[in-house]
Amino acid sequence: MASPHEIHVALPHDPGGKSLESDGHFSVPIHVVTQVSQLPIEFLEPSPERQLVIGFDCEGVDLCRHGTLCIMQLAFPSAIYLVDAIEGGEALVKACKPALESNYITKVIHDCKRDSEALYFQFGIKLHNVVDTQIAYSLIKEQEGQIRAPDDYISFVSLLADPCYCGISYAEKEEVRVLLRQDPNFWTYRPLSEMMVRAAADDVRFLLFIYYKMLEKLSEQSLWYLAVRGALYCRCFCVNDNQYADWPSLPPVPDQMLGDPNAPEEEILSVLDVPPGKMGRIIGKRGATILSIKESCNAEIFMGGAKGPPDKVFIIGPIKQVRKAEAMLRGRMLDIF
């Protein structure tokens, strides 16, 4: 049997659910999972007849290709499952592979890049069919005519605080961040404390509610952008020698949009190798150079940074804008005599 921890969790009763005020708070069990048999069969065996939408997140130590994935959180409308990768081990996580790669299970997550990287390099899992609420939020703001500054990505805490979605404070998140700064191994300790269980659950318990609220706002074109950018974000840091050939194909532009003069341009991911000693030229003094390039191109540009890979730059966006960014970045890498 799973280990239940009862808390009050607000989730919609049905797709397009009611507001938090009208739904109120109702009790949802949190199950700490250490064995495959404790997970729902409809999750373990994805099926077109039983398509699911779940909230998803990961916790760990320095979560990336080299870190340690400790917990995967799965939020269903009726329960939250904390998949304990420390106690359950590799076999438990790999049992989730069909679901995490399935077209029949939509995974709602906030900023999927590093979670996907950890799953891919540590367990060979290619995270697929995600709805990234960070991407969705930006698309909604674009629909409303707002222009986002480079690197101005909404945090999960800020998203929860937005009155258009939940309008709630998540003060405990900062408490956990303080604990993580004091002890980076926080998520490795067992048994899980009540605070760890609560903090892990809090990172997914509102995702389904936010998802349905966002669906009400997103246009057909934005939904396509959401799908393709989610797929590109998932593979962003998962660079390997086969150029992502083993990953699922990207969602094509829908036929009904092709004849539209404002039809979206195909989006791609480009990975630029940076020779030794050249990254400083790309970044520039206090980040001024890379910021200038980001402001000049309608594309997302990510650096591997401390978590790596440190010698690569990742560019996501429309083909023409990605090529423009590539040219500007290569120009910065040229030797100047």
Residues 6+ apart with CB under 8 A from 295: 150
Judge if 27 and 117 occupy the same domain.
yes
Return the percent helix, strand and coil in the chain, to nearest 5: 45, 20, 35
Q: Which stretches does DSSP call E strand in the chain?
A: 3-9, 26-33, 52-61, 68-75, 80-84, 105-109, 130-132, 267-273, 300-303, 312-318
Judge if 292 and 202 occupy the same domain.
no
Q: Is residue 229 part of a domain?
A: yes
Token pair 């076999």 in the structure block, residue: 91
Judge if 122 and 19 occupy the same domain.
yes
Other beta carbons within 10 angstroms of residue 69's beta carbon come to 23
d(CA 17, CA 234): 27
The 10s digit of each residue's pLDDT in 283-307 is 999 899 999 999 999 899 999 888 8
- CATH number of the domain residue 303 falls in: 3.30.1370.10
Other beta carbons within 10 angstroms of residue 285's beta carbon come to 7
Are 38 and 4 in contact by the 8 Å Cβ rule? The answer is: no
Judge if 222 and 305 occupy the same domain.
no
| Domain count along the chain | 2
Q: Is residue 244 part of a domain?
A: no
Q: 234, 257, 290 — which closes off a domain?
A: 234
Q: What is the pLDDT of residue 308?
A: 78
Q: What is the pLDDT of residue 27?
A: 60
Q: Is residue 245 part of a domain?
A: no
Q: Is residue 247 part of a domain?
A: no
Judge if 90 and 196 occupy the same domain.
yes
Q: Is residue 252 part of a domain?
A: no
Judge if 56 and 169 occupy the same domain.
yes
Judge if 64 and 157 occupy the same domain.
yes
d(CA 134, CA 238): 19
Host domain of residue 76: 3-234
Are 83 and 71 in contact by the 8 Å Cβ rule? The answer is: yes
CA 66 to chain centre: 18
Q: What is the pLDDT of residue 3?
A: 53
**What's 287's DSSP letter?**
G
Q: What is the token pair recorded at 54? A: 């779940």
Q: What is the token pair recorded at 324? A: 């423009």
Q: Is residue 87 part of a domain?
A: yes
Q: Which residues of the chain are under the pLDDT cut of 70?
A: 1-27, 335-337
Judge if 156 and 303 occupy the same domain.
no
Token pair 């990287």 in the structure block, residue: 117
- CATH number of the domain residue 57 falls in: 3.30.420.10
Judge if 120 and 63 occupy the same domain.
yes
Judge if 70 and 187 occupy the same domain.
yes
Q: Is residue 164 part of a domain?
A: yes
Q: Is residue 255 part of a domain?
A: no
Judge if 218 and 275 occupy the same domain.
no
List the one residue out of 163, 61, 46 whose CA is nearest residue 100: 46
Q: 211, 234, 257 — which closes off a domain?
A: 234
Judge if 94 and 195 occupy the same domain.
yes
Q: 234, 255, 282 — which closes off a domain?
A: 234
The 10s digit of each residue's pLDDT in 48-67 is 999 999 999 999 999 999 99
CA 85 to chain centre: 19
- N- to C-terminal Cα distance for the chain? 69
Are 89 and 192 in contact by the 8 Å Cβ rule? The answer is: no
